Amino acid sequence: MESLLIEIGTEEIPSGYIEPALDAFRNMVIERLRKERIACGEVAVYGTPRRLAVMAYDVALRQEPFTSEVTGPPERVGYDENGRPTVAARKFAEKNGVSVTRLTVRDTEKGRYLCIRKTDKGQKTVNILRREMPGLILSIAFPKTMRWKDLSIAFARPIHSIVALFGDRSFSFTVGDVKSGRNTFGHRFLAPGKICLDHPGQYLQKLEEAYVIADPVRRKALMIESMERAAAGTGGRILDDPALCDVVVNLVEYPEVVLGSFDTRFLSLPPEILITAMREHQRYFAIMDEDNKMLPHFIAVSNNRAKNMDVVISGYERVLAARLEDARFFYESDRKVSLDQMTQKLKDVVFQANLGSVWDKTQRIRRFCNYLAGAAGLDEADARRLDRAGALCKADLVSQVVIEFPKLQGVIGRIYAEKSGEDPLVARAVEEHYRPVQSGGVLPETRIGALLSVADKLDSLCGCFHIGLIPTGASDPYALRRQAIGLLQIARENNLDVSLAEAVRFGLGLFDAPAEQPKETLEQEILGFLKNRMAHMLEEESVPRDMAAAVLAVSFDNVVDVWSRARAFARMKDLPDFQSLAVAFKRVVNIIRKADPTETRGGEVDPDRFEHSAETRLYEAFERVEQAVNRHLANRDAQSAFSEIASIREPVDRFFDDVMVMADDDALRKNRLALLRRISDLFARLADFSRVST
């Protein structure tokens, strides 16, 4: 067993490319070794802006032996009546490169056949690596790649060196015009010379001696420790920002923490603007005091250790001062314009060429808000707040601060609304209506913010489908999948008792221009789109796929109802007799589906026609359960409704054991089918049991 090291030395790779590339590199190496029958132990990855490396431990020296069996012609064809090999046998042996004497006969399901057992002793691992590694390296995917010189290959950035070590032996291959070897390079400024590696075990230590912390986990820990120590010296703490840490740690090979300051006059700006100006443009970390207020200090992380760090700090401070001065100018200019004036400027901002301006969208949102206020039962005061929030929700898009810092959309709208004396709930709704801004992101916390967010997202869905901008597997430019998931999450978490079908129908009615398809068709497409998102969400929340399908097949018009039924149904799977329960209920549903519709529809159950006690017992149990289910569903208690339905399983089993449903007597048959029809209809209020896997 030996250790394997592959390092790709490059020019500076963008920070966001590094972690996904390392994960892909690791997975490809593991998969290729497995495919080539080469045993290995742990596989680790290391990376900096100038290198991607994989280290595999306990790698076998050669492939594992492999024995295969090749089947040839039948025995009667391969040997004559005297047991001598025929031409067919000799040709079979020749084709597989063995002597005819090595042929054996094997019993199969089809009879006795000639076969050959072939054993591949395996090649040396280093030979496999030499052959496979160039293609594997060039298979690493990046969001964007580039070409250089006159080479035909592409990579994230030009490749300058490749380390390829297997134990203490280097093995050669070529990628582009770079030949692999045992030399890597240290820090570009602090130790730029070559580093010769005798074996993989030296990799991390020798690089660290050359001012390169190759392990991103350790590099990040050292960086955070240094930042916390520097922040403590100001009496504050670093603003928690894991995403910025992940970016910065992959911008440096040897993190050198710098503590700087800025003029206290900038503290009069909203902290969100200060933090964003430092974060987005400069990758600086803000420092907060114990009351969570900003201090006039910042932390930057340099990739160099200068002889005079005061000069470096001065440079960082000078650049930040210019950024903050710009931010202050934008903010003060915005404050001279009212939100209503900003809203009017939205008439000149195109939302989508066929859907009008952003102002047009806000007018549709306001009408949607009015509809949702009634559907959700808001009182008059909250309905007014919702309408006002709808009118202002996009105003900040034309503010100079948001134009400079797009990630502050909504946040600046809330700040300006607060400064203008708007109702606090209106101001919060303006910010919250963009939520969730990413998968798993924070949802609106106020009911007005939730309804405004739903209105905005439904308008985008209806509008895009209206003009044919329907997401495909490769294209979703308006992020409709994310918006659909967001509105479903909001409806679920806020218990919005709103009909999706009616809301979509209302939304499509807001567009006067001719649609790509009839509105009835568009309505069904949008609802189908939402249904698919529900199915994925339920699966992600550990609802089995078949159970999610069973619940959605019955109804998906009310999001709260769907989740209530799905969660209750999923809990039933833990019942010890769930399988027998599902089988019994599926049998009821399947019999009704296969029966002649004329015999199952409209018929009343006549207890006087019952011939068996099992019929009477099932009918009595059904009537009791039906009343209880109706009561529980009226109270939105799906869990109790499912529990009641489960109690009917034993009478159903006894009915099928003792009663012939499809009796020859028409009256008996129709009466029994009518009973099963009523039971099936009761099931159908909760789930389609025929879709449950048994």
Choosing from 74, 89, 120, the residue where a domain stops is 120
Residues 37 and 53 in one domain: yes
Choosing from 280, 301, 334, the residue where a domain stops is 334
Let me know if residue 556 belongs to a domain: no
DSSP code for 267: G
pLDDT for the residue numbered 602: 58
Q: Which of 4-13, 149-158, 594-603 shows the lowest mean pLDDT across its residues?
A: 594-603
Let me know if residue 559 belongs to a domain: no
Residues 116 and 128 in one domain: no
Asked if pLDDT for residue 372 goes beyond 80, the answer is yes
d(CA 452, CA 53): 48
Residues 434 and 574 in one domain: no
d(CA 264, CA 285): 17
Q: What percent of the chain has pLDDT over 90?
A: 59
Asked if pLDDT for residue 574 goes beyond 80, the answer is no
pLDDT for the residue numbered 554: 87
Top pLDDT among 33 and 608 is at 33
pLDDT for the residue numbered 108: 80
Residues 158 and 34 in one domain: yes
pLDDT digit string, tens, across residues 277-289: 999 888 999 999 9
* Domain that residue 39 falls in: 2-62+124-209
* Count of structural domains, the chain: 5
Helices (H) and strands (E) in the chain, counts: 27, 18
Residue 515 pLDDT level (bands cut at 50, 70, 90): low
pLDDT for the residue numbered 459: 95
Let me know if residue 551 belongs to a domain: no
Query: CB of 274 within 8 A of CB of 327?
Result: yes
Residues 14 and 153 in one domain: yes
Let me know if residue 550 belongs to a domain: no
Average model confidence (pLDDT) across the chain = 90
Residues 151 and 267 in one domain: no
Q: How far is CA 569 from CA 49, 86, 301, 623, in A?
A: 50, 66, 52, 22
pLDDT for the residue numbered 363: 96
pLDDT digit string, tens, across residues 612-644: 888 889 888 888 988 888 888 888 888 888 888
pLDDT digit string, tens, across residues 109-166: 788 888 888 777 778 888 889 999 999 999 999 999 999 988 999 999 999 999 999 9
Three-state DSSP at 406 gives: helix
Top pLDDT among 48 and 109 is at 48
Residues 391 and 431 in one domain: yes
Residues 295 and 401 in one domain: no
Residues 389 and 359 in one domain: yes
Q: How far is CA 272 from CA 267, 393, 412, 502, in A?
A: 11, 18, 8, 39
pLDDT digit string, tens, across residues 287-324: 999 999 999 999 999 998 888 888 989 999 999 999 99
pLDDT digit string, tens, across residues 161-203: 999 999 989 999 999 999 999 999 999 999 999 999 999 999 9
Asked if pLDDT for residue 273 goes beyond 80, the answer is yes
pLDDT for the residue numbered 207: 96
Asked if pLDDT for residue 576 goes beyond 80, the answer is no
Asked if the bond preceding 471 is cis, omega within 30° of 0, the reply is: no
Q: What CATH number does the domain containing 191 carry?
A: 3.30.70
Choosing from 165, 194, 209, the residue where a domain stops is 209
pLDDT digit string, tens, across residues 221-269: 999 999 999 999 999 999 999 999 999 999 999 999 999 999 999 999 9
Residue 599 pLDDT level (bands cut at 50, 70, 90): low
pLDDT for the residue numbered 598: 66
Let me know if residue 680 belongs to a domain: yes
Let me know if residue 546 belongs to a domain: no
Residues 55 and 86 in one domain: no
Q: Is the sign of the CA dihedral 275, 276, 279, 281 positive or negative?
A: negative
Residues 330 and 344 in one domain: no
Residue indicated by tokens 């015999």: 599
Residue 474 pLDDT level (bands cut at 50, 70, 90): confident
Amino acid identity, residue 7?
E
Top pLDDT among 154 and 694 is at 154
Let me know if residue 303 belongs to a domain: yes
Residue 601 pLDDT level (bands cut at 50, 70, 90): low
Amino acid identity, residue 613?
S
Let me know if residue 558 belongs to a domain: no
Q: What CATH number does the domain containing 441 carry?
A: 1.10.3210
Instruction: Give the residues across from 258 on adjacent strands.
Output: 300
pLDDT digit string, tens, across residues 637-686: 888 888 888 888 888 888 888 878 787 777 788 888 888 888 888 888 88
Q: Which of 3-12, 34-43, 318-327, 599-608 shows the lowest mean pLDDT across its residues?
A: 599-608
Q: What percent of the chain has pLDDT over 70?
A: 98
Asked if pLDDT for residue 439 goes beyond 90, the answer is no
pLDDT for the residue numbered 460: 94
Q: Is the sign of the CA dihedral 292, 293, 296, 298 positive or negative?
A: positive
Asked if pLDDT for residue 73 goes beyond 80, the answer is yes
Q: What is the pTM of this model?
A: 0.81
Residues 52 and 146 in one domain: yes
Query: CB of 398 within 8 A of CB of 342?
Result: yes
